[in-house]
Structure 1
Amino acid sequence: MSKHAPELPIEVDSETGVWTTDALPMLYVPRHFFVNNHMGIEEELGAERYAEILYKAGYKSAWHWCEKEAECHGIEGEAVFAHYMNRLSQRGWGLFKIEELDLDKGTARVRLDHSAFVYVYGKVNRKVDYMFTGWFAGAIDQILQARGSSLRTVAEQEYCEAEEGRDHGLFVVKPLNAEV
């Protein structure tokens, strides 16, 4: 395994201890801490209900992130989505690869390798990456809004690396009124 620092501009405020990357304050926590909390909430609420909650929260957060990063870096459209996938990959969530992106149609396909959730859950024969799903629709919708489009999307995970026979996860984004 190659070990090198990701190319993230991290600033730490000496008075407050707040970490900032680009335009946003950040938290730095061990993977096991985050995923163990995730698993604890899932046990209490059930995966389906927790996924619904995370979709809405993730959508809102991705929208905000893309809006702030687009402004900070002076980027728009596909560059914003590519920047988002790159930053997610650099922050240890997994490696996100855009397989397809068509903003005019409101569609995307995102491959996920080496998911942080799969590393902890292992092969459990179910989708465990549902936290990411709302992130893709929120990001695409913010980009569409910035382009003046009223088109809105919905995202779904087609499959997960934690499922038997899968070596990666796949997420699909489509227009809100289309069948996913």
Structure 2
Amino acid sequence: MAKPEVEIDVDPQTGRWFVDQMPMILVPQHFYNNNHFAIEAALGADAFDAALAPAGHTSAYVWCKKQSEVYGLEGVDVFAHYMKRLSQRGWGLFSILAIDPKAGTATIRLDHSSFVTDATRGAGRKLCYMFAPWLAGALEFVCEQQGAPRTLASREVQCAAEGHDFCLFEVAPAA
């Protein structure tokens, strides 16, 4: 297995993990997924998505803002850094297929999503919707940074759990 490109700093006083000067929590994938799908089952997928979306959107925006300050990143480089870090943290492999901050649009491919496992591969429905508001929030930061602020929306167009080879997301200006 290749050595990760992410440096983890552990505060000896608190035990907190930091990556890119941001505090992190490391949990096993099955632990996270079991909790995620248990809450989804209790609330229903639509209600769970509605509850998660604002926090995910805001968190992605804040993360991109902080990383632009830490690393001096601007424009598409901020978004690409976010996709790289999501990929390096085990959420799956995110690829930017198209991006236009001036228009507020992007198409993102996700291979090997952390939500599509041997147990969920045949679910026949979209399982990776949690990532959609993250993508919109991240691109909103980039749009604002580039002088074209706008409200964006994102949706999962296809999911590997539906039988596709990969998940696909589209980001566009909100209606």
Q: TM-score, normalised by structure 1?
A: 0.94
Question: Which SS does the other structure have where 2:94 is aligned?
Answer: strand
Matches within 5 A, 1:12-31: 12-31=10-29
**Does 2:137 correspond to 1:135?**
no
- Number of residue pairs matched? 174
Match of 2:43 in 1: 45
| TM-aligned CA deviation for residue 5 of structure 1 | 2.3
Unmatched segments (≥5 aa) in structure 2: none
Unpaired runs of at least 5, structure 1:
none
- Percent sequence identity over aligned pairs: 47
Correspondence for 2:83: 85
Contact 1:31 1:116 in 2 (8 A): yes
How far did 1:27 drift?
Answer: 0.5
Shift, 1:122, TM fit: 2.1
TM-score of the aligned structures, taking structure 2 as reference length: 0.97
> CA RMSD of the aligned region, Å?
0.9
Contact 2:101 2:146 (8 Å CA) reproduced: no
Structure 1 position 150, deviation (Å): 2.5
**Contact 2:53/2:133 (<8 A) preserved:** yes
Whether 1:155 aligns to 2:121 is no
Aligned to 1:167: 165
From 82, 105, 108, the counterpart of 2:106 = 108
Query: What is the alpha-carbon distance in structure 2 between the residues aligned to residue 139 and residue 150 of structure 1?
Result: 12
Aligned to 1:57: 55
Q: CA–CA distance in 2 between the matches of 1:45 and 1:138?
A: 24
Runs of 4+ in 1 over 6 A off after TM superposition: none
Report if aligned partners of 1:108, 1:174 keep a CA contact under 8 Å in 2: yes
Equivalent residue number for residue 34 of structure 1 = 32
